[in-house]
Structure 1
Amino acid sequence: MRLGLHYWNFSTPDDPASIASTLAKTALIAEQAGIWSFTPMDHYFQMRHRHGGAHEPMLEGYTTLGYLAGLTGRMRLGLLVTGVMYRHPGLLAKIVATLDVLSGGRAFLGIGASWYEREQHGLGVPVVPVAERFERLEETLQICLQMWSADNGPFAGRHYRLAETLCVPAPLSRPPILVGGGGERKTLRLVARYADACNLFGRSVDEVAHKLDVLRAHCDREGRDYDAVEKTVMVSRPVLDDVDALLADAERYARLGVSEIQVLPYGHPVRFMEKVAERVIPHMTAL
């Protein structure tokens, strides 16, 4: 069982001048401790249910990943998850390819249907109906796969038209694609059709087990090998409050075929990561 760190909070410490050094120190401790992936969010405003909401600090995700790429040498780097409406898919494919080249082949594309309408309205990002967001998500997946292949030709979809899908330099290796979310009719179908990995919310082991059953059914319909899809789970509760409960859940997730759990720092991220390195990671490696 691997452990990922989902870095969602830039409010601690409360001095903006300390954001970069805190992020850097956390990432270096995480890498030394054996954290597998480091994932900021893809938001421009802090989410409404987190602390002070939109008025709290938030950094742009891919700029943050570029900074982390220069500091680290092993951890996988991606966003959980890129909002499909926030970047034109041709540019998104180029951004992720650039991250992959500069990180030595450590980038992955985490992507989902964007949802936070306040930041979209606030910053002028188009807000479209949910059904259209999923249509755009599917086309974005198709465009990224084409741009990271030997096919430099055009792409003509319902929402996006590209005269050429040229991407030079190509990624060092094709970045894995992770589709985030547990929507049973659309999201998990897109996982089965296009993705290398899924990411589910770990509200309960039983709920994750149900979502994986749904994914298996979609894979059967798509002719996809279910076992070829990597399963990851985000545990958003303060895990240091009850490490034994986390480890018990992790053992059950491992039996379901989950290979990675992401945890979120609460409090000071450096101190959180130091405690995770001491109290969690040695036990996780045994699963």
Structure 2
Amino acid sequence: MSIRLGYQMPYFGYAASPRELFPQVIAQAQEAEAAGFDAVLLMDHFYQVYGQPEDWMLEAYTALAGLATVTERIQLATLMTCNTYRNPALLAKIVTTLDVISGGRAALGIGAGWFEQEHIGYGFEYGSFTERFQRLDEALQIISPMLRGQRPTFQGKWYRAENAINEPQVRADLPILLGGGGEKRTFGLAARYADHLNILCHTTDLPHKLTTLRQRCEEAGRDPQTLETSVRAVVVVDEDGDRARRLAREFVQRDLVVVISPDSVFAGAPDDVAEQVQRRILDHGVDGIIVNMVANGHEPGILELAGKALRPLVHR
């Protein structure tokens, strides 16, 4: 498993009607596959994060199963699954079923969860920051062995499982992705359980974050080279670089709450964006990039531009 270039599809408000929506989602996934992206990743949310909460949002695993039937090579995952929304054994079963449907192309992206409004609206227990990470730790003690052909028995504070069976499986190494920037909890869990860590931070903090991650791996008795890393970035690319920068400015002004900082936005013509990604992310030693193209990724041809510009940087 390797995700050096991922496409996160976070927004679904561009279709004229619900009936026209999923064909446009399919078109993006197929264009990303043709453009050389390694993975398509959906957000695991029930309310829209970009724009208004009532703007359209698809349930992630149902949508990924649909995409599995119309793609051939590209990996399928969430960035990230909210652990508090599903029983961990059930989640292991869901992602394994996606792996079967896709012929071995699923990955489990998972995090502790953060969107309190969704928890309230859907009746999920939110809990404290510490409690959500306790839940995630316990969940991974059930999920990880289930994805590797084992039948775990576990009794914790939050979850339990007894000889949990997970069949059929097409492989015993379905990859786990974690996401976040917490140097103690998130990095510690990644060192213990993950195949891939999507680091959430300002790009200027990457050298420190990577150093700390190596320390967490060494503390866990793990070779840091076995943990792949990426950064999520908002990318706005267009042959007309001025248009791309204008769209990026409009996006930041509208949705600053979900942007770490303007530092995480990369906008311009393809060559300009590639230079920025290389200098501000990859030169620090990060393995790959997951691009969120919320401003114009749904426009035909944009993903092809992005793939041509970015894939050579991460697949040499």
Q: TM-score, structure 2 length as denominator? A: 0.84
Q: Comparing 155-164 with 20-29, which one deviates more in the overlay? A: 155-164
Deviation at 1:13, TM superposition (A): 2.2
Partner of 1:55 in structure 2?
A: 54
Q: Tell me the secondary structure at the aligned position of residue 171 of structure 2.
A: coil
Q: Tell me the secondary structure at the aligned position of residue 150 of structure 2.
A: coil
CA distance in structure 1 between the aligned counterparts of 2:221 and 2:202, rounded to whole angstroms: 29
Partner of 1:198 in structure 2?
A: 197
Deviation at 1:270, TM superposition (A): 3.5
Deviation at 1:237, TM superposition (A): 4.5
Which structure 2 residues correspond to residues 208-227 of structure 1 after superposition, within 5 A? 208-227=206-225
| Residue 76 (1) aligns with residue 71 (2) | no
Q: Provide structure 2 residue ranges, at least 5 long, that are not aligned to the other structure.
A: 239-243, 245-267
Partner of 1:260 in structure 2?
A: 288
Deviation at 1:126, TM superposition (A): 1.1
CA distance in structure 1 between the aligned counterparts of 2:172 and 2:70, rounded to whole angstroms: 20
| Residue 246 (1) aligns with residue 278 (2) | no
Aligned amino acid, residue 42 of structure 2: P
CA distance in structure 2 between the aligned counterparts of 1:213 and 1:239, rounded to whole angstroms: 31
CA distance in structure 2 between the aligned counterparts of 1:266 and 1:127, rounded to whole angstroms: 27
Deviation at 1:219, TM superposition (A): 1.1
CA distance in structure 1 between the aligned counterparts of 2:172 and 2:192, rounded to whole angstroms: 20
CA distance in structure 1 between the aligned counterparts of 2:118 and 2:104, rounded to whole angstroms: 31
| Residue 283 (1) aligns with residue 309 (2) | yes
May I ask how many residue pairs the two structures share in their alignment? 281
Partner of 1:46 in structure 2?
A: 48
Partner of 2:156 in structure 1?
A: 157
CA distance in structure 1 between the aligned counterparts of 2:273 and 2:221, rounded to whole angstroms: 34
| Residue 140 (1) aligns with residue 139 (2) | yes
Q: Tell me the secondary structure at the aligned position of residue 21 of structure 1.
A: helix
CA distance in structure 2 between the aligned counterparts of 1:228 and 1:56, rounded to whole angstroms: 39
Q: Comparing 230-239 with 81-90, which one deviates more in the overlay? A: 230-239
Aligned amino acid, residue 82 of structure 1: T
Conserved? CA contact 2:149–2:166, under 8 Å: no
Deviation at 1:267, TM superposition (A): 4.1
Q: Tell me the secondary structure at the aligned position of residue 53 of structure 2.
A: helix
CA distance in structure 2 between the aligned counterparts of 1:77 and 1:30, rounded to whole angstroms: 12
Q: Tell me the secondary structure at the aligned position of residue 270 of structure 1.
A: coil
Deviation at 1:231, TM superposition (A): 0.5
Conserved? CA contact 1:76–1:106, under 8 Å: yes
CA distance in structure 1 between the aligned counterparts of 2:164 and 2:156, rounded to whole angstroms: 13
| Residue 22 (1) aligns with residue 50 (2) | no
Q: Provide structure 1 residue ranges, at least 5 long, that are not aligned to the other structure.
A: none
Conserved? CA contact 2:83–2:110, under 8 Å: yes
Aligned amino acid, residue 125 of structure 2: P
Conserved? CA contact 1:89–1:143, under 8 Å: yes
Conserved? CA contact 2:112–2:136, under 8 Å: yes
CA distance in structure 1 between the aligned counterparts of 2:122 and 2:209, rounded to whole angstroms: 34
CA distance in structure 1 between the aligned counterparts of 2:235 and 2:35, rounded to whole angstroms: 21
Q: Comparing 111-120 with 209-218, which one deviates more in the overlay? A: 209-218
Conserved? CA contact 1:179–1:195, under 8 Å: yes
Aligned amino acid, residue 206 of structure 2: V
Q: Tell me the secondary structure at the aligned position of residue 77 of structure 1.
A: strand
Conserved? CA contact 1:2–1:284, under 8 Å: no
Deviation at 1:269, TM superposition (A): 3.6
Conserved? CA contact 2:110–2:177, under 8 Å: yes
Q: TM-score, structure 1 length as denominator? A: 0.92
Deviation at 1:249, TM superposition (A): 3.4
CA distance in structure 2 between the aligned counterparts of 1:19 and 1:265, rounded to whole angstroms: 17
CA distance in structure 1 between the aligned counterparts of 2:296 and 2:284, rounded to whole angstroms: 32
Picking from 5, 13, 27, the partner of 1:11 is: 13
CA distance in structure 2 between the aligned counterparts of 1:250 and 1:187, rounded to whole angstroms: 24
Give identity over the alignment, percent. Answer: 37
Deviation at 1:184, TM superposition (A): 1.4
Q: CA RMSD for the aligned pairs?
A: 1.8
Which structure 2 residues correspond to residues 70-149 of structure 1 after superposition, within 5 A? 70-149=69-148
Picking from 27, 30, 33, the partner of 1:31 is: 33
